[in-house]
Structure 1
């Protein structure tokens, strides 16, 4: 689980400061996709950056499991991000010279895979490529893959170290509506299967049906939270 508790983030603007995130409290339970939407400039990406420990908030707490990431040093935050957080950016940001499978193997190495048996690391990479529908494309490099396929590799790469938290920033911005819907559905399915706590920023409400919860952010503040009744019951353990 990831919980933001009364988080505020500001940026300098001349002699004053601009508030990007204004006293936000938000929780994303394991196995649930929490969507974050709102107009451009509303603070969505800033909120995700705080959750990812990429930016330290001015005040408040960022609980990732039992660790308050807002109190960590830069090196400690880097280690927590490596071990517990998977991040999917708007662009796939794949290494051009590496195959799809190698993208995952390198991430596993950076995340401590060197301490695991190589066969286990390779099996995890193959498992995830299968899960995202790319089992037959593992030897292809990014230039040989479509935009949707590259984003699928990015999702698999984010999950290779079994993170407890998955943070996704506008993953469909460069895709057409059909490919975008496939990516959102894939993230939702893997969230449920892998029991990750997922926060997903999107501006496109056509994907609402795939999200368990939808939070609306305006001017850095949560203005609305939409939780379907079925999700409330499942979160409470009622089937």
Structure 2
């Protein structure tokens, strides 16, 4: 679960301040996907940065899996991201020298918890399970240059799920893909959100996918507003 309550974020602009997020409230339950759309420069990226605890808001609260994040230190917020938040960016940002399988294994080395770092057999099993879940078992030994754009994004999603996050933050995952591969990625995200019981926030410019989501919001000039989107099956 993730809950943003009355969040406001401003940035300095000369002698004044510009408002990037204006009193935004958003709630996403486990196992559901909520979409956010809106024009460029409307505040969507700022909202994702606050939701993922990369930036602390001026006002309001961010609660992730029953942890109120806005009162945490920088170190505590970093640990929260490592343990409870999965990030999927527009670009896959895979490490060129690592295979698809190794991209997932390396996530286990980022935690400060010695118990998790020591569970190498469990980590290997988890990596194999996730590559199978995203349809890349046969491509586990390939490096990014040997994978298509859609395949790289699938590795990106699997990597974000390695530490069993409570929250998945997804930023324009289909922007670099054609329509067919983009639809496959959305299908995958919706299925994995349900199967892994994550609360997923998905930023997208593709209005066509909004009816497939649990809920949708539009963002304009920093203000977030719920949309009425009749749901479709599939």
TM-score, reference length from structure 1 = 0.93
Name 2:179's counterpart in structure 1.
177
1:224 Cα shift? Answer: 2.8
Asked if residue 134 in structure 1 is aligned to residue 127 in structure 2, the reply is no
Name 1:114's counterpart in structure 2.
117
Separation in structure 2 between the aligned mates of residue 53 and residue 123 of structure 1, nearest angstrom? 29
> Given that residues 86 and 160 in structure 2 are in contact (C-alpha distance below 8 angstroms), is that contact kept between their aligned partners in structure 1?
yes
Name 2:220's counterpart in structure 1.
218
Question: 1:142-174 CA deviation, whole Å, 9 max, x = no partner?
Answer: 000000100000000000000000000011111
Separation in structure 1 between the aligned mates of residue 210 and residue 124 of structure 2, nearest angstrom? 35
Q: 2:196 aligns with which of 187, 194, 197?
A: 194
1:223 Cα shift? Answer: 2.6
Q: What is the aligned length? A: 230
Separation in structure 2 between the aligned mates of residue 78 and residue 163 of structure 1, nearest angstrom? 13
Name 2:155's counterpart in structure 1.
153
> Given that residues 20 and 43 in structure 1 are in contact (C-alpha distance below 8 angstroms), is that contact kept between their aligned partners in structure 2?
yes
Name 2:77's counterpart in structure 1.
77
Separation in structure 2 between the aligned mates of residue 214 and residue 89 of structure 1, nearest angstrom? 19
Name 2:34's counterpart in structure 1.
34
Point out where structure 2 has 5 or more consecutive residues left out of the alignment.
none
| 1:81 partner SS | helix
Point out where structure 1 has 5 or more consecutive residues left out of the alignment.
232-239
Name 1:235's counterpart in structure 2.
none
The worse-fitting range, judged by mean Cα deviation, of 201-210 and 5-14 is 201-210
1:229 Cα shift? Answer: 7.1
The worse-fitting range, judged by mean Cα deviation, of 204-213 and 35-44 is 204-213
Name 2:91's counterpart in structure 1.
91
> Given that residues 211 and 232 in structure 2 are in contact (C-alpha distance below 8 angstroms), is that contact kept between their aligned partners in structure 1?
no
Name 1:203's counterpart in structure 2.
205
Separation in structure 2 between the aligned mates of residue 228 and residue 164 of structure 1, nearest angstrom? 26
Superposed structure 1 runs of 4+ greater than 2 Å apart: 223-231
| 1:30 partner SS | coil
| 2:153 partner SS | helix
TM-score, reference length from structure 2 = 0.95
1:225 Cα shift? Answer: 3.1
Residues 206 and 228 of structure 1, relative CA distance in 2, 3 Å threshold: closer
Name 2:67's counterpart in structure 1.
67
CA RMSD of aligned residues (A): 1.5
